[in-house]
Amino acid sequence: MAPSSKTVTRRTGWVTAEHFYWHDTQNWAGFLEPSMVVQPGQHFENPETKRRMQAMVEVTGLAPLLVPFRPEPVEDAALTVIHPQSYLEHLKAVCASGGGDAGQLTPVGPASYQIAQLAVGGVLQAVDAVFTGEVDNAYVLCRPPGHHAMPDLAMGFCLFANAALGIKHAQATYGIERIATVDWDVHHGNGTQAIFYDDPSVLTISLHQDNLFPPDSGAIDETGSGAGAGVNLNIPLPPGSGSGAYREAFEKIVLPALEAFKPQAIFVPSGFDASALDPLGIMMLSSEDYRWMMRQVLAVADKHCEGRVIVTHEGGYSATYVPYCGLAVVEEMCGVSETLTDPFHIHVANYGGQALSPDQARAVEAARAAYFDG
């Protein structure tokens, strides 16, 4: 199966570490803490989805075509750019006590603080590699995820704002004046939005299932405030949206917004929980939809920011399907054609409702009008 004859058209950094899979989300039942009425089980954000994605990159022979990096943990000083020291001390205390819920639905284990430091270190390393020209783009297969993390609150399985910290690092170290984020996780990227809500130098875009998580977050009228008014873009899509809705949203909103903003780098908080097999969303994307979205992002990056794209792994809870979706994205990033045929694609692509429906078209138009005409 190894694509020995394949050649890459882009140098793609590949950042991961065994310790990412040691972050302990305990024996919660899905996303609920066990109790006398909730039987213990396995937390949705467990190592298996990401471990299996790494395994697929290896067994297809794609790994040797990537540029590997071994992340180093950051010190607290790198985190206090966003997170106050009081919050860091809170996380340390929870971990030191043996673990528990560190915030809102965010269980941790004894080593989770250090592993989260390592995840941020991987993101900063990817930023350095991209901006120094060592690679063209980079994928950070990190854990725990980050796009729900608020400055002083762990939320939705996220401890530190991984992508946002990477953006701050790019701004401070390389003087970047315009950065865009394209978050296609099925849940609203509320943490990233909150951090940059009044910052005109960062365009935050989130495509997500309408009112899924967090509740009452990610509405189309949340467009930024103060100096950042007009640079926060939410595209809440109806449950059941698939290929047609996402491509309509990209073509009518995401790509025009990126073209108007002309970013000097693009960050992609990449969750694969909008896939048709995910247990935490009700969307219908296939691996080919993720490949297509990444292709569009790369085209904008090639035009405006010398191809600079940094991807941080976020959600995605189907151990069966995340590896195929992730493989498609990484293949597209390095310019390698399919190393493995996705056996699920033909089924997902033929699900009823993949075409753009009238209600989905109305939702896209409402988001477009709120951002461009509001």
Residue 173 and residue 269: Cα distance in Å, rounded?
21
Residue 210 and residue 218: Cα distance in Å, rounded?
8
Name the active-site residue from 83, 148, 304, 345.
148
Residue 112 and residue 288: Cα distance in Å, rounded?
33
Half-sphere CA count of 79, side-chain side, radius 13 A:
29
> Contact at 8 Å (CB) between 108 and 52?
no
Phi, psi of 53 (to 5 degrees): -65, -45
User: What distances in angstroms separate CA 284 from CA 335, 344, 353, one per listed residue?
Assistant: 25, 12, 9
> Contact at 8 Å (CB) between 256 and 372?
yes
Residue 249 and residue 52: Cα distance in Å, rounded?
30
**For tokens 């048709």, what's the residue?**
276
Tell me the two tokens of residue 314: 């976020």
Verify whether residue 148 is a known catalytic residue: yes
107: DSSP letter: E
User: What distances in angstroms separate CA 238 from CA 157, 210, 273, one per listed residue?
Assistant: 24, 6, 15
Q: Please name which of 244, 45, 259 lies closest in space to residue 156, comparing C-alpha atoms.
A: 45
Q: Which residues are catalytic, by number?
A: 148
